[in-house]
Structure 1
Amino acid sequence: MSSIITNVSAMTALKSLSATNKGIETTQARISTGLEVAEASDNAAYWSIATTMRSDNNALSTVQDALGLGAAKVDVAYTGLNSAIDVVDEIKSKLVAAREPGVDRSKIQSEIGELQNQLVSITTSASFSGENWLSVDSSAAGFSATESVVASFNRSSSGAVSVSTIDVSITSTKLFDANAAASGILDTTFTTTGAGAVTVSVSNLDITAANIDDTDIDQMISNVDTAIQNMTDSASILGSSKSRIDMQSDFVGNLMNAIDRGIGQLVDANMEEESTKLQALQVQQQLGIQALSIANGNTQSILSLFR
């Protein structure tokens, strides 16, 4: 039955054309954004996962910045410690020279004094971002014997988040401590048992003090050598920490890339597929327009029945 009120063919053609147009809009949106899942309405589960992982990746980016800052602090401390080792080694050489008969110990002490001043200069200068791990004051408010470097951002299977750190003990690296009740490697005092019987540290020993004899100097040499060994151990600790921080930074960078790839697998559009689909939909759109035009033209044939 033909009807001029209800054109079933036109209604069917219009519905098909509307569906095709909607498909074109969706495909064009995917091509322009590069995303198959751009909104929660596209796929709520994938969108939720991708949004959470993007947030975690932003946190990991901050972690990588923190690792860079931590690496810089360790590197500054390590550089200062290495320089201090060279200076203390020179002090030991001067003390050995002072053991030679007939030497002018006052001149040697003058050189040692300059080296001691250099130690103070090195340790006070080994500061980065307001933190100094070589010259400290353990009695100061807020002082911590352990410095922490943010190393990772973690999310458990239950969704709980946490932050992990790499800890560096300042107690083992400090060379000077302004706290009278504590001491660093270079201001730890010792007492010689020779005729001079002086109580000194590496940073203030004096071979021109009254009654200093070879026994006193030998014990000074021994204690300076012990200080060098302790500083070497401290440098090894800092070197190990620096190596771990570098490895963690590389891992975090690789992890961020892996997460990006995982997010892409969930929400990125397949551009080859979308391009092919767009061409097919455009053909369907043209055919739909023609079908609708034919369906609308059918009513014109009814007029011929009344001529």
Structure 2
Amino acid sequence: MSSILTNTSAMVALQTMKSINTNLTKVQSEISTGKSVATARDNAAVWSISKVMESDVKGFKGISDSLSLGSSTLTVAREASEKIQGLLSDMKEKIVTAQGENVPREKLQTDINALRDQIAGIVGAAQFSGLNLISGTEDVKFLSSLDRSDAGVTTSDITVARQDMSTKAGVMGSGADGVSLNSNVQFAGATPVPGGTPTTVSKAGNNATVTIAGTFAAGNTADVTINGAQVSYAWQTGDTVDDIAAALSGAINGLGIQGVSAAAGAGGVITITSANAFEDVNVAAAASGGTAQVTALSADPSHVAGASGKIAERAEKIEFSNAANVNEGDGYSLSIDGKAYSYVAGKGETMEDVARGLKIAIDSGKVEGISTRVAFNDTSSKWELKVDFSGVKDDAAVTSRAVTVSGYSGGTASGGMFGLDSLDVTTKESARSALENIESMISRAIDAAAEFGSAQGRIDIQASFVTSLTDALTAGIGTLVDADMEEASARLQALQVQQQLGIQALSIANQQPQNLLALFR
């Protein structure tokens, strides 16, 4: 049936044209924007996912900037630490030279002071964007990642420990802000002296008693061996044990062993004394016919008479606990005649660091007659700080010094180069101490550079990962929302043809009412 009121063909053609135009508009939008999902209307689910991923990409770009800043900061700190290590090695060369007898000590001290000032300048200048990693003790965090989960988004950090290379002295804690650490330290010996309890260090050496006894006859001998050097006496007619002791004492003194002397007493007794500050002396005795024994040791009341014994070094030993942890702010102090010399531990330090730091503090005080040495006791598995007193040059009446070792938490840490300001080579004794202490400082500089290098490596690895992750996320977003331009081009051409055909179809449909008019002519 034909009607002039309803043109069904035109309606169909018009609907087709609208559909073609809608698809054509969509394809043209894809071509102009390059996206198949440009707005939430295109595909709400895909659009929302892509926008979350795009925000993460922007976040990771910020993280990449943070990591670049961290890497640059660590580069400055590492290079500064390496430079400081080099200057300390130069300083060591001067200190080694100062160990000689006929050397220009004042000139060497001037050179050392110049190197010290250069190190101080590096510590002050080694900052990047206002951040100095070789001054202070607080950890520094660099943003390293975004972590997305059902609970939300959180950030991750790479924590870098500062390596304090300053020369500042620490501040001991007190009862107001800390607790006693006296239980962690004591003077070791036959009768240990607990931390906080006064005692003395004496210039008197330790000794061993060798006793000659029994009946000797022709052909019999008595021998005494000291650190492998043996003296021997053959009995002669009429000799008593006192004669044998006197002869052996004279022979021992004739050996010229550093710090060792012998004196004969009544009853065949030989007292062998060692004034060696940091070395034990081995003593052995033997005899044929009569007897020769090491009957007593002044530093070991429990010694049982026998063929041998050991004269302990003169120095008193401060023993540090191998069970206690060392926390930042833990301070240990040695009072000498009422004046305290202290070291306060920094973050991550050990009892070895405490022992070496306290040694530096004592050496910096330049107390006449006091010398120190740090050693690890293999028997007790503990670190020890040995403190010796050799006397006062112009006052023989001073035979000892009063000392007290103590500890307290809650202090302010000493700088990593603590004691550098007081390195002194103007005397042979101070030059020897300086050589021991410069080794500790070089070790700290090496450790600092290694820590910074390790942290920089972690940051560089993370930066590379973040870059790769950002690229992967960007590619994923493209897969979700980018238009296939080849497909869009083909569809555009097809739709343009369909549009032209649709226009022709609509034109034909619109001519049908005109055809109906012909029936009434």
TM-score after normalising by structure 2: 0.54
CA distance in structure 1 between the aligned counterparts of 2:112 and 2:160, rounded to whole angstroms: 31
**Which stretch has the larger CA shift, 187-196 or 23-32?**
187-196
Q: Is the 8 A contact 2:40 2:48 kept in 1?
A: yes
> Is residue 176 from structure 1 mapped to residue 390 from structure 2 by the alignment?
no
Task: Give the direction of change, closer, same or farther, for the CA distance of 1:39–1:177 in structure 2 (3 Å limit).
Answer: farther
> Is residue 272 from structure 1 mapped to residue 486 from structure 2 by the alignment?
yes
Tell me the secondary structure at the aligned position of residue 155 of structure 2: strand
Q: Is the 8 A contact 1:194 1:213 kept in 2?
A: no
> Is residue 167 from structure 1 mapped to residue 151 from structure 2 by the alignment?
no
> Is residue 44 from structure 1 mapped to residue 44 from structure 2 by the alignment?
yes
Choose from 407, 416, 423 the match for 1:205: 423
CA distance in structure 2 between the aligned counterparts of 1:271 and 1:108, rounded to whole angstroms: 78
The Cα offsets for residues 12-50 of structure 1, whole Å up to 9 and x where unpaired, read as: 001101110111000000010000001111111100000
Look up the equivalent residue of 2:164 and give its one-letter code: K
CA distance in structure 1 between the aligned counterparts of 2:73 and 2:169, rounded to whole angstroms: 22
Tell me the secondary structure at the aligned position of residue 79 of structure 2: helix
The Cα offsets for residues 55-110 of structure 1, whole Å up to 9 and x where unpaired, read as: 01111111011101111111111111111001111111100000122111001001
Q: Which has the larger radius of gyration?
A: 2
Look up the equivalent residue of 2:124 and give its one-letter code: T
> Is residue 115 from structure 1 mapped to residue 333 from structure 2 by the alignment?
no
1:244-263 aligned at under 5 Å gives the runs: 244-263=458-477
> Is residue 191 from structure 1 mapped to residue 362 from structure 2 by the alignment?
yes
Look up the equivalent residue of 2:432 and give its one-letter code: D
Look up the equivalent residue of 2:428 and give its one-letter code: D
Tell me the secondary structure at the aligned position of residue 147 of structure 2: strand
Task: Give the direction of change, closer, same or farther, for the CA distance of 1:179–1:292 in structure 2 (3 Å limit).
Answer: farther
Task: Give the direction of change, closer, same or farther, for the CA distance of 1:257–1:46 in structure 2 (3 Å limit).
Answer: same
Q: CA deviation at 1:132?
A: 1.3
Task: Give the direction of change, closer, same or farther, for the CA distance of 1:275–1:94 in structure 2 (3 Å limit).
Answer: same
Q: Is the 8 A contact 2:424 2:431 kept in 1?
A: no
CA distance in structure 2 between the aligned counterparts of 1:130 and 1:239, rounded to whole angstroms: 20
Task: Give the direction of change, closer, same or farther, for the CA distance of 1:243–1:59 in structure 2 (3 Å limit).
Answer: same
Q: CA deviation at 1:202?
A: 2.2
Choose from 493, 501, 513 the match for 1:287: 501
Task: Give the direction of change, closer, same or farther, for the CA distance of 1:179–1:224 in structure 2 (3 Å limit).
Answer: closer
Shift >6 Å, 4+ stretches: none
Q: Is the 8 A contact 2:98 2:428 kept in 1?
A: no
Name the structure 2 match of 1:155: 148
CA distance in structure 1 between the aligned counterparts of 2:510 and 2:81, rounded to whole angstroms: 90
> Is residue 69 from structure 1 mapped to residue 69 from structure 2 by the alignment?
yes
CA distance in structure 2 between the aligned counterparts of 1:203 and 1:274, rounded to whole angstroms: 76
CA distance in structure 1 between the aligned counterparts of 2:464 and 2:124, rounded to whole angstroms: 31
The Cα offsets for residues 189-208 of structure 1, whole Å up to 9 and x where unpaired, read as: 33349956489812321222
Larger RCO, structure (CA 8 Å, separation 6 or more) = 1
CA distance in structure 2 between the aligned counterparts of 1:159 and 1:304, rounded to whole angstroms: 76
Greater share of helix: 1
Q: Is the 8 A contact 1:195 1:213 kept in 2?
A: no
Look up the equivalent residue of 2:121 and give its one-letter code: S
The Cα offsets for residues 184-243 of structure 1, whole Å up to 9 and x where unpaired, read as: 79x9533349956489812321222xxx334x3223212111211121111111001101
Name the structure 2 match of 1:92: 92
Q: How many percent of aligned residue pairs carry the same amino acid? A: 40
Q: Is the 8 A contact 1:40 1:47 kept in 2?
A: yes
Tell me the secondary structure at the aligned position of residue 114 of structure 2: helix
Task: Give the direction of change, closer, same or farther, for the CA distance of 1:159–1:260 in structure 2 (3 Å limit).
Answer: farther
> Is residue 296 from structure 1 mapped to residue 510 from structure 2 by the alignment?
yes
5+ residue gaps in structure 2? 172-343, 347-352, 373-417
Tell me the secondary structure at the aligned position of residue 280 of structure 1: helix
Look up the equivalent residue of 1:54 and give its one-letter code: E
CA distance in structure 1 between the aligned counterparts of 2:167 and 2:513, rounded to whole angstroms: 100
CA distance in structure 2 between the aligned counterparts of 1:10 and 1:178, rounded to whole angstroms: 95
The alignment yields a C-alpha RMSD, in angstroms, of 2.1
CA distance in structure 2 between the aligned counterparts of 1:71 and 1:280, rounded to whole angstroms: 55
CA distance in structure 2 between the aligned counterparts of 1:161 and 1:30, rounded to whole angstroms: 32
Q: Is the 8 A contact 2:96 2:435 kept in 1?
A: yes
Name the structure 1 match of 2:303: none
CA distance in structure 1 between the aligned counterparts of 2:10 and 2:134, rounded to whole angstroms: 86
TM-score after normalising by structure 1: 0.90
Q: Is the 8 A contact 1:116 1:204 kept in 2?
A: no
Greater share of strand: 2
Name the structure 1 match of 2:22: 22
Q: Is the 8 A contact 2:167 2:419 kept in 1?
A: no
Name the structure 1 match of 2:12: 12
Q: Is the 8 A contact 1:135 1:177 kept in 2?
A: no
